[in-house]
């Protein structure tokens, strides 16, 4: 399918995955309308999209404001003529023990990660229903299957997004040309950590082998060609999903032990609210600049993890039979 014929809307397009996806669509010649809070970041990505050969327009919009998102959807449709794919990619995070983080910041994460995506869907679904076609791509995360200690509100939002998508797919079951597609990447090398709030006093960094944003962008382009309900990006994503099914809380408990140690030993930095309440004052780009290749034994670690999942599954079955 030629993506040059596609009309694309991306919310949260000013940096990271959204920006990489916009540029990837632009290289295919697609027409885009890009939304985000930060004008500087949007203008930077619009320029890159046009240099890549696509057509792109920027609209400054706060995805938490439902009325503003509805107006943005109307403007995008008027600009593009129709909307073939809408990518909901707005996201935020707060790192810290739940009781150490102000409740207003937890609320802001829920508004940003969950309610903004619901605002997107509520704005674009009437357009899809009138057109009788459309693809809504919901950026979730592997955190939609495995809870993240030190990020309780983030976990709540991602689990909520997964349930929201499943409900929408059921409601739209009789509309075969309207698709709800979820994307579940593992860690992705974006400016996200720099934008996040941090109440631990410890410097955040990505683990070795974090995905390139372009890898996730390729997955979104694949959905534009062949929509499907669930796409896991990165080998551990499927492993996390299976592990949490056969041994609930196992991975989360292990992560908590690791994060306790990290919070004690990492380089000290001041606490910050990051870009939780206001966009960055300058373009953030696509990458964090921290990416490291995985260690040579990375495949071995995954194999051991798979064996652990299999063992846990076997023990669970034996326990059921013994009971």
Catalytic residues: 154
In angstroms, the CA 192 to CA 12 distance is 12
Q: Is there a contact between 224 and 3 (Cβ–Cβ < 8 Å)?
A: yes
How crowded is residue 51: how many other Cβ atoms within 10 Å of its Cβ?
11
With 0-12 CB in 10 A as exposed, 13-18 as middle and 19+ as buried, what is 286? buried
Residue for token pair 């690791």: 258
Question: What stretches of the chain show up as alpha helix (H) in DSSP?
Answer: 16-27, 39-51, 66-80, 103-110, 116-131, 152-171, 192-195, 213-225, 235-246, 250-265, 298-322
Query: What pairing do the DSSP bridges indicate for beta strands 94-95 and 134-139?
Result: unpaired
Q: Is there a contact between 161 and 143 (Cβ–Cβ < 8 Å)?
A: no
CA 56, distance to chain mean position in Å, is 22
What is the rounded end-to-end Cα distance, in angstroms, of the chain?
A: 53
Query: What pairing do the DSSP bridges indicate for beta strands 94-95 and 7-11?
Result: unpaired
DSSP for 103-118? HHHHHHHHIIIIIHHH
In angstroms, the CA 295 to CA 301 distance is 10
In angstroms, the CA 83 to CA 6 distance is 8
Which of 290, 294, 188 is CA-nearest to residue 233? 188
Residue 143's SS3 state is helix
CA 246, distance to chain mean position in Å, is 25
In angstroms, the CA 186 to CA 239 distance is 11
């Amino acid at each position: 399918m030629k993506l040059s014929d596609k009309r694309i809307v991306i919310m949260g397009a000013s940096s990271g995955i959204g920006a990489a996806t916009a540029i990837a669509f632009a290289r295919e010649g697609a027409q885009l309308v890009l939304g985000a809070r930060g004008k500087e970041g949007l203008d930077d990505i619009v320029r890159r999209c046009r240099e890549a050969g696509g057509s792109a327009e920027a609209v400054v919009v706060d995805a938490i404001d439902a009325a503003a998102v509805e107006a943005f959807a109307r403007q995008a449709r008027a600009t593009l003529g129709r909307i073939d794919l809408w990518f909901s990619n707005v996201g935020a995070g707060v790192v810290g023990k739940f009781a150490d983080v102000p409740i207003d910041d937890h609320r802001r994460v829920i508004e940003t990660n969950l309610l903004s995506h619901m605002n997107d869907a509520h704005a674009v679904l009437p357009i899809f229903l009138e057109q009788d076609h459309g693809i809504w791509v919901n950026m979730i995360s592997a955190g939609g299957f495995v809870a993240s200690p030190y990020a309780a509100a983030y976990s709540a939002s991602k689990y909520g997004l997964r349930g929201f998508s499943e409900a929408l797919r059921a409601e739209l079951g009789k509309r075969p040309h309207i698709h709800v597609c979820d994307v579940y990447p593992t860690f992705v090398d974006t400016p996200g950590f720099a934008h996040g709030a941090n109440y631990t006093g410890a410097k955040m960094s990505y683990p070795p082998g974090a995905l390139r944003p372009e890898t996730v962008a390729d997955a979104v382009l694949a959905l534009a060609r062949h929509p499907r309900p669930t796409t896991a990006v990165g080998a551990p994503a499927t492993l996390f999903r299976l592990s949490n099914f056969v041994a609930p809380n196992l991975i989360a408990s292990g992560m908590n032990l690791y994060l306790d140690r990290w919070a004690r030993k990492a380089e000290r930095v001041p606490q910050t609210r990051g870009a939780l309440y206001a966009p960055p004052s300058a373009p953030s780009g696509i990458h964090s600049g921290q990416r490291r290749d995985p260690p040579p034994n990375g495949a071995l670690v995954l194999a051991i993890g798979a064996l652990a999942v299999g063992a846990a599954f076997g023990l669970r079955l034996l326990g059921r039979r013994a009971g």
